[in-house]
Amino acid sequence: MHTPEKSANTPLEWFVSCAKGLEPVLAAEIQSLGGYNTREVVAGVYAQAPQVFGLRMVLWSRVANRVIRLLGEFSVKTADELYEQLVQQDWQAWIRPNQSMSVDFHGTNEFLRNTQFSAQKVKDAIVDRLSTTLGARPNVDRKSPDIRFNCHLKPQGLSVGIDYGDGSLHWRGYRTRSGAAPLKETLAAAILMRAGWPKLVEEQGALVDPMCGTGTLLIEGAMMAADMAPGLRRKRCGFERLPDFIPEQWRILKSEAEKRAAAGKQRLQDIEIRGYDADARAVRAAEENIEALGLSDYVRVSVKPLAKLAKPTHRPLNKGLVVCNPPYGERLGEAAALRYLYNQLGERASREFAGWELAVLAGEVAQSKAVGLRSHKQYILYNGALAVHLALFTLGEDNRWKDLGAAQQTAQETQGDKASSIEASEGTLTAGGQMFLNRIR
């Protein structure tokens, strides 16, 4: 097992996890923050870099889930082998008896089938080793440990590391309220990157979300435009209680990030960021989330149905990005209504935002095709365990919108019946169901 090195420039081994489909985006981000020798695998990227790289990733990564500093790999198959290998390691180099710990365990095999049991065996090995060598043992704290060990069992063996973020990095600290099916902040950031938002920021392009929900896409877009570090509001970091942590190093990095954010907010005055939603409750939640970051002067949201979507006219907006995460639909009978909704989105975007880009996150390919425009790029991403489809469109004369008349006609003919059934069933709807119906309206 690797032990803390004296030199701050000593190359260390890292594994950074992400949602499936985001590996190339994460690899580019890792390289921009000082990582090298990157190797992409499913749902993550391996890299080499000195210790400060982990601090930068926790502070600046927009798409990473977890940043793991690898301590070693072990050839184990059974529970006994797991314990015998780990109880021999130099754990006192990483954790002191007066500190608390937690073990996250991922992966199974034919002998180790229960991750909770496997985590317990790792904990036993660490505790027994410290009790033998130091005569004392650390406490276990699953919620707020001083050191969070991360174990991943793969066919080639067990990797053990320390979680530098002390949990998932999707937490930005601004979400006061979320909708029924919130979009993860890391996925929202990746959508904007794939859609070319960073380049549009340089060109002072605008950002519009016609179905903004609680505002995640808008807020992530504003943070990018303002050069705000997503980890700046993080209350706890897993590296702060490590033996080789340098507090002054972390203070300098945070101070630099705060200065960049202050300067970036000034640039937001030249960038239009607008969001709309038919659900007033979602808009109120978005306003609270935006206010939590101090961005109310730059990110504006209001109640407006998709049918009334129009480009703001108070100043020239010749280029920009329309981006949204419409409902996917999970119940029988929603397909026709969703087809009409996506087609209406394509019509309004094509009519109002000529020369702009459009990015739509759909539940399936059929929904993105229902937009009625030719997509020049598609990506398969994952919203949790759910596979979703990101389709990119350029809005221009050479990409004419197609009216999916059958769906529209069906929706118009049954509008009266739908309205009455909606009114009759509203009292029994969940919050998510009510939001869905408001959007269809």
Q: Are residues 415 and 317 in the same domain?
A: yes
Q: Are residues 67 and 21 in the same domain?
A: yes
64 in any annotated domain: yes
176 in any annotated domain: no
- Cβ burial of 156 (10 Å; 0-12, 13-18, 19+) is exposed
The answer to whether 336 and 408 are in contact (CB under 8 A) is no
243 in any annotated domain: no
The whole domain housing 289 covers 185-229+256-440
Q: Are residues 124 and 189 in the same domain?
A: no
pTM: 0.89
Residue 333 banded pLDDT, cuts 50, 70, 90: low
Taking CA atoms, 44 is separated from 209, 219, 364, in Å, by 29, 25, 24
Q: Are residues 151 and 208 in the same domain?
A: no
Q: Please tell me the predicted confidence (pLDDT) of residue 2.
A: 82
pLDDT digits (tens, 9 = 90+) for 60-103: 999 999 999 999 999 999 999 999 999 999 999 999 999 999 99
Q: Please tell me the predicted confidence (pLDDT) of residue 385.
A: 87
Residues across the chain:
441
DSSP strand pairing (273-277 vs 206-209):
parallel
Q: Are residues 143 and 189 in the same domain?
A: no
114 in any annotated domain: yes
Q: Are residues 359 and 397 in the same domain?
A: yes
Q: Tell which phi-psi region holds residue 323, choosing left (phi > 0), alpha (psi between -120 and 50) or beta.
A: beta
Of 319, 320, 337, give the one whose Cα is nearest residue 328: 337
Asked whether residue 423 carries a pLDDT value surpassing 70, the answer given is: no
178 in any annotated domain: no
Provide the 8-state DSSP code for 230. Answer: T
Q: Please tell me the predicted confidence (pLDDT) of residue 414.
A: 47
Q: Please tell me the predicted confidence (pLDDT) of residue 62.
A: 98
**Domain boundary residue among 107, 131, 163?**
163
113 in any annotated domain: yes
pLDDT digits (tens, 9 = 90+) for 178-193: 655 679 999 999 999 9
Asked whether residue 5 carries a pLDDT value surpassing 90, the answer given is: no
Q: Are residues 196 and 67 in the same domain?
A: no
Mean pLDDT is lowest, of 191-200, 212-221, 233-242, 422-431, for: 422-431
Question: Across-strand partners of 164?
Answer: none
112 in any annotated domain: yes
Q: Are residues 152 and 207 in the same domain?
A: no
Q: Are residues 284 and 375 in the same domain?
A: yes
pLDDT digits (tens, 9 = 90+) for 335-388: 778 999 999 999 999 999 999 999 999 999 999 999 999 999 999 999 888 899
Q: Please tell me the predicted confidence (pLDDT) of residue 328.
A: 85
236 in any annotated domain: no
Chain-centre distance of CA 17, in angstroms? 11
**Domain boundary residue among 163, 196, 219?**
163
Taking CA atoms, 147 is separated from 99, 196, 308, in Å, by 8, 38, 52
Using only C-alpha atoms, the chain has a radius of gyration, in whole angstroms, of 24
Q: Please tell me the predicted confidence (pLDDT) of residue 7.
A: 65
Q: Which helix (H) or strand (E) holds 85?
A: helix 79-87
Q: Are residues 93 and 135 in the same domain?
A: yes
Q: Please tell me the predicted confidence (pLDDT) of residue 416.
A: 45
Q: Which helix (H) or strand (E) holds 117?
A: helix 115-134
- What is the Cα–Cα distance from 94 to 350, expressed in whole angstroms? 57
CATH of residue 357: 3.40.50.150
**Domain boundary residue among 163, 198, 218?**
163
Task: Tell me what percent of the residues of the chain surpass a pLDDT of 70.
Answer: 89
Q: Are residues 333 and 421 in the same domain?
A: yes
Q: Please tell me the predicted confidence (pLDDT) of residue 100.
A: 97
- What is the Cα–Cα distance from 218 to 198, expressed in whole angstroms? 13
Instruction: Please give the tally of structural domains in the chain.
Output: 2
Q: Are residues 344 and 288 in the same domain?
A: yes
Average model confidence (pLDDT) for the chain?
A: 90
Question: Across-strand partners of 47?
Answer: 14
CATH of residue 98: 3.30.2130.30
pLDDT digits (tens, 9 = 90+) for 10-21: 999 999 999 999
Q: Please tell me the predicted confidence (pLDDT) of residue 427.
A: 42
Mean pLDDT is lowest, of 4-8, 40-44, 344-348, for: 4-8
- What is the Cα–Cα distance from 211 to 29, expressed in whole angstroms? 28
Q: At what angle do helices 280-292 and 431-440 cross, to 10 degrees?
A: 110
